[in-house]
Structure 1
Amino acid sequence: MLLSVDHVTRYRYDRPVRAVMQSHRLTPSKFDGQKVRDWTVTVSDGIPGGSFRDGAGDRVQGWMVKGPVSEVEVRVIGTVETFDLAGVLRGHREVVPPEVYLVETTATRADAALADLATQAAGAEGPLALAHRLAELVAVAVAYKPGATRSQTTAAEALALGGGVCQDHAHILIACARRMGLPARYVSGYLFADVEGVPHEAAHAWAEVHVAGLGWVGFDPANRCCPDARYIRLGSGMDAQDAAPIRGVARGVGAESLDVKVAVQSLQQ
Structure 2
Amino acid sequence: MKLTVEHVTTYVYDQPVRGVVQSHRLLPTQCQNQSVERWNVTVSDGMMGGSFRDGAGDQVQAWTVTGPVERIEVRVTGVVTTTDCAGVLRGNRELIPPVAWLGETGPTMPDSGLKALAAGASGETALPLAHDLSARVSEAIAYTPGATDAHTTAAEALEQGQGVCQDHAHALIACARLRALPARYVSGYLFTDSDGTGHEAAHAWAEIWIEGLGWVGFDPANACCPDERYIRLGCGADAAAAAPIRGIARGPGSERMEIAVAIASAQQ
TM-score bin (small chain): over 0.9
Specify the alignment match of 1:99 in structure 2.
99
State the shift of 1:254 in Å: 2.0
> Could you list the per-position Cα deviations for residues 207-229 of structure 1 after superposition, in whole angstroms to 9, with x for gaps in the alignment?
00000000000000000000000
1:148 match: secondary structure: coil
Any residues of structure 2 matched to 1:51-62 within 5 Å, and which? 51-62=51-62
Find runs of 4+ consecutive structure 1 residues off by over 6 angstroms: none
CA distance in 2, matches of 1:251, 1:187: 29
CA distance in 1, matches of 2:135, 2:72: 40
Specify the alignment match of 1:234 in structure 2.
233
Q: State whether residues 128 and 211 of structure 1, in contact with CA within 8 Å, keep that contact through their aligned partners in structure 2.
A: yes
Specify the alignment match of 1:139 in structure 2.
138
Q: State whether residues 121 and 130 of structure 1, in contact with CA within 8 Å, keep that contact through their aligned partners in structure 2.
A: yes
2:223 partner amino acid: R
Structure 1 residues 82 and 199, CA, compared in 2 at 3 Å: closer, same or farther? farther
State the shift of 1:193 in Å: 1.0
> Could you list the per-position Cα deviations for residues 154-179 of structure 1 after superposition, in whole angstroms to 9, with x for gaps in the alignment?
00000001000000000000000000
Any residues of structure 2 matched to 1:125-164 within 5 Å, and which? 125-164=124-163
Count, aligned residues: 268
Identity among equivalent positions (%) equals: 63
Q: State whether residues 20 and 66 of structure 1, in contact with CA within 8 Å, keep that contact through their aligned partners in structure 2.
A: yes
1:94 partner amino acid: E
Specify the alignment match of 1:66 in structure 2.
66
Specify the alignment match of 1:33 in structure 2.
33
Q: State whether residues 192 and 201 of structure 2, in contact with CA within 8 Å, keep that contact through their aligned partners in structure 1.
A: no
CA distance in 1, matches of 2:23, 2:191: 25
Q: State whether residues 169 and 222 of structure 1, in contact with CA within 8 Å, keep that contact through their aligned partners in structure 2.
A: yes
Specify the alignment match of 1:118 in structure 2.
118
1:7 match: secondary structure: strand
Unaligned runs of 5+ in 2: none
Structure 1 residues 237 and 195, CA, compared in 2 at 3 Å: closer, same or farther? farther
Specify the alignment match of 1:44 in structure 2.
44
Give the CA RMSD over aligned residues. 1.2
Q: State whether residues 192 and 200 of structure 1, in contact with CA within 8 Å, keep that contact through their aligned partners in structure 2.
A: no
Specify the alignment match of 1:177 in structure 2.
176
CA distance in 2, matches of 1:254, 1:80: 38
1:56 match: secondary structure: coil
TM-score by length of 1: 0.98
CA distance in 2, matches of 1:201, 1:192: 9
State the shift of 1:202 in Å: 3.2
CA distance in 2, matches of 1:203, 1:97: 28
Structure 1 residues 194 and 168, CA, compared in 2 at 3 Å: closer, same or farther? farther
Structure 1 residues 201 and 113, CA, compared in 2 at 3 Å: closer, same or farther? closer
Unaligned runs of 5+ in 1: none
TM-score by length of 2: 0.98
